Amino acid sequence: MSRRKVHVLRTIGADERTELSRLVASGSAPAEWVRRAKIVLLVEGGAPYLMAARAVGRRNGEGVSALVERFNGEGLAALIPRHGGGPERKYGARERERIVAEVKRRPEAGRDGTANWSLSTLQRSLRQAADGLPEVSTYTIRQVLLEAGYTCQRDRTWCQTGQVVRVRKQGPVVVEDADRDAKKKR
């Protein structure tokens, strides 16, 4: 005999149902989003929580109950997984902006000891600066730069992806690649 449902699924609107169906049929959406969309559609169709869970490869209906509760409150945003554990991010938006500002600054050979930025020279510079980050790691710097659209070049410098400085008759011009985002996803 199954337990009484603590969380009952609310009525789903037509636009939400369309989006859920689109996600279930999608071949490119993240697998967890597809699983959660299937669960919500199965529960809406009247399937017990345990059957809905087993239909997507889960063992019990506890997770389905939690998903239904979250879907009732958040709607389609409940399909997207949240932070899965581990320590929270130590550096916020202000610190991330500080890291990006430092990489944009041209290194001075006398002060920074280098002509090109590497992760370790950026780390040293950020740790020694008065408004810097005394405990920042090279891993954090790399993650922030990758999120900001920078890539490490062969000459160990960090450059904005899809941007290049070309010398024209009028002077240097920054040229941006229109297909930058499409190329990054390869």
Is the per-residue pLDDT at 1 higher than 60? Answer: no
Local confidence band at 156 (pLDDT 50, 70, 90 cut-offs):
low
pTM to 2 decimals? 0.53
Q: What is the pLDDT of residues 91-132, one digit of tens each?
A: 889 999 999 999 999 888 778 888 788 899 999 999 999 988
Local confidence band at 159 (pLDDT 50, 70, 90 cut-offs):
low
Three-state secondary-structure class, residue 83: coil
CB neighbours of residue 36 within 10 Å: 25
- Looking from the CA of 78 toward its CB, the CA atoms found within 13 Å total 22
Q: Where are the domains of the chain?
A: 14-79, 93-179
Name the percent of the chain lying above pLDDT 70. 91
Question: What's the per-residue H, E or C state across 103-120?
Answer: HHCCCCHHHHCCCCCCHH
Local confidence band at 162 (pLDDT 50, 70, 90 cut-offs):
confident
Q: What is the pLDDT of residues 16-71, one digit of tens each?
A: 999 999 999 999 999 999 999 999 999 999 999 999 999 999 998 899 999 999 99
Supply the mean pLDDT for the chain.
87
